[in-house]
Chains A and B, each alone.
Chain A
Amino acid sequence: MPARPTEELLESIYASKRALHAAYRALSLPEKVRQVMELQRIDYALRLQRGETPEWWQRPWEPDE
């Protein structure tokens, strides 16, 4: 019989996840825009790896700071 996590462990994992998401929600607007750009870069890289040719509008935005 495989080992299973206890209810306490599961709750602790979910609590950590909720805390992480809450922290993301609380970021400032500039930090959120940086996060959007990071998500764009990840998405863009995945598309290239899949052999797709991203559309012009699917290029990550360029930060110029």
Chain B
Amino acid sequence: MASFETALRALNTMKEDGVIADYAVAGGMAQGFWVEAIATYDLDVLVSLPQAEGIIVSLAPIYEWAKKRGYGMLAEHVVIGEIPVQFLVSPGALTDEAIESAATLKFGDTTIRVVRPEYLIAMYLHGSARTRQRRERAAVLRDEGNIDASLLGDLMTRFHLEF
């Protein structure tokens, strides 16, 4: 299990080192934390970057940090403890909120920030992310994820979402 925990520790270290401002695990792994585990091969991580001059957003600092620590890089993934980790810089207000409101959970001796199920649903239903597979995942979370209906309703309204 240490390879997964190694990846989690690396995320926390990345935040402590100021490479990222904050993060939250998203995607299939986050889904599995709230409902049943599903087969997934990578760890999707939503990140916010520290304030910087200019408007060009780059993952270069993350890749440089990873390189210095000897982590491999393959197809835009950083390979930490043999786990491919994909970083997605928060593209808008919804994902900003998802990071800010992420739940802090314990995994072994490590804390982990995870996107809450209401935000996962909203992200699955938002814009180009709204594929059939993601709509199905959103429905599973809605039906079985013990969600806060009021929060979900608020997100659906504010971000103009529908199932």
Contact = CB atoms under 8 A, between A and B. Distances in A.
A61 B107 contact: no
A39 B38 CA distance: 7
Nearest to A29: B107
Interface size class of B (residues with CB under 8 A): 20 to 34
Interface string A29-46: 110111110011011000
Given A34-B1, A36-B32, A61 B108 contact: no
B1 to A, nearest CB: 5
A40 B39 contact: yes
A60 to B, nearest CB: 8
Contacts of A36: 29, 32, 37-40
Contact of B36 (A24, A29, A34): A24
A25 B4 contact: no
Given A25-B144, A65-B1, A58 B35 contact: no
B40 A62 contact: no
Interface string B92-123: 00000000000001111000100000000000
Contacts of A30: 1, 107-108
Interface residues of A, number: 24
Contacts of B29: 36
Contacts, number: 63
Given A29-B105, A36-B29, A57-B77, A62 B82 contact: yes
B91 to A, nearest CB: 23
A33 B28 CA distance: 11
Interface string A6-43: 00000000000000010011010110111110011011
Interface in B1-22: 1-4
15 contacts: A21-B144, A24-B37, A27-B37, A29-B106, A29-B107, A33-B107, A35-B32, A35-B37, A36-B29, A36-B39, A57-B84, A61-B3, A61-B4, A61-B82, A64-B1
